[in-house]
Chains A and B, each alone.
Chain A
Amino acid sequence: EVQLLESGGDLVQPGGSLRLSCAASGFIFGNYAMSWVRQAPGKGLEWVSYIRGGGAVTHYADSVRGRFTFSRDNSKNTMYLHMNNLGADDTAVYYCAKCASSYGNDAFDVWGRGTLVTVSS
């Protein structure tokens, strides 16, 4: 069964940092592009970042560029989102999502359950 499991969400103070992880199973992880999508409480979906299957290419939403870093370790079937200088607007459930292809211009065919990041003093 194809699965994605996020972890690392927590309560963090404004200006703080956090690292989210997403463990994948049930498919050849390195063959697929991956993304992070977030959802603020009671709000809609917002794409955050993308990484190609090999990990060499990443893209970010303007709202997080320069603060977030997306990486992956294909040997561990795991991807990471390093988040710095967090603000209240970053409070959200963060989902990892699998792209249906390696290069990423494709729909998200598998989603994790999400991990909650709360930024508050």
Chain B
Amino acid sequence: DIVMTQSPDSLAVSLGERATINCRSSQSVLYSPDNHYYLAWYQQKPGQSPKLLIYWAFTRESGVPDRFSGSGSGTDFTLTISSLQAEDVAVYYCQQYYDIPWTFGQGTKVEIK
């Protein structure tokens, strides 16, 4: 199984400041024939179901604010919130859909400092 490891487990960021969440996969999730990283990021606000933010590692889902961005290469990926807003308080998960079983990171809790 591909293990997804996120860091940190939690972070507190001041409003308007940058939040950075890291995700490492235990093996490559790059599918060479289409040159896509099979990596997604989700946001789960308290009491809500998860919401897709980023897919193919870099592509923002429709309607997601542009302060959210995905980056990375190889087996290391990053979700960046460029200017944290109060409504961004949530747990964020990375997920690989390269190989079954699809696996999630353990989650990173983002709070306001």
Among the stretches B19-27, B72-80, B82-90, B95-103, the one at the interface with A is B95-103
Chain A residues 39-61 with CB under 8 Å of chain B are 44-47, 50, 59, 61
Report whether A46 and B49 are in contact in the complex, using a CB–CB cutoff of 8 Å: no
Q: What is the predominant secondary structure among interface residues of chain B facing chain A?
A: loop
Report whether B106 and A44 are in contact in the complex, using a CB–CB cutoff of 8 Å: yes
Report whether A107 and B95 are in contact in the complex, using a CB–CB cutoff of 8 Å: yes
Q: Shortest Cβ distance from A120 into chain B, in angstroms? A: 22
Report whether A50 and B55 are in contact in the complex, using a CB–CB cutoff of 8 Å: no
Report whether A45 and B93 are in contact in the complex, using a CB–CB cutoff of 8 Å: yes
Question: What class of interface size applies to chain B in its complex with A?
Answer: 20 to 34
Please judge, given known A-B contacts A100-B55, A107-B40, A107-B95, whether A95 and B50 are in contact too, CB under 8 Å. yes
Q: Does B51 contact A (CB under 8 A)?
A: yes
Number of A-B contacts (CB under 8 A): 58
Q: Does A67 contact B (CB under 8 A)?
A: no
Inter-chain contacts of B103 with A (CB < 8 A): 47
Residue of B nearest to A50 (CB): B100
Q: Shortest Cβ distance from A121 into chain B, in angstroms? A: 28
Please judge, given known A-B contacts A45-B93, A100-B55, A111-B49, whether A62 and B101 are in contact too, CB under 8 Å. yes
Report whether B49 and A113 are in contact in the complex, using a CB–CB cutoff of 8 Å: yes
Inter-chain contacts of A108 with B (CB < 8 A): 40, 42, 50, 52, 95
What 4 pairs between A and B have smallest CB-CB spacing? A107-B40, A107-B55, A111-B49, A47-B102
Name 19 extra pairs, CB < 8 A, besides A109-B55, A111-B51: A37-B50, A44-B93, A44-B105, A45-B44, A45-B93, A45-B107, A47-B102, A47-B103, A50-B100, A61-B101, A95-B49, A105-B97, A106-B55, A107-B56, A107-B95, A109-B52, A111-B49, A113-B49, A114-B49
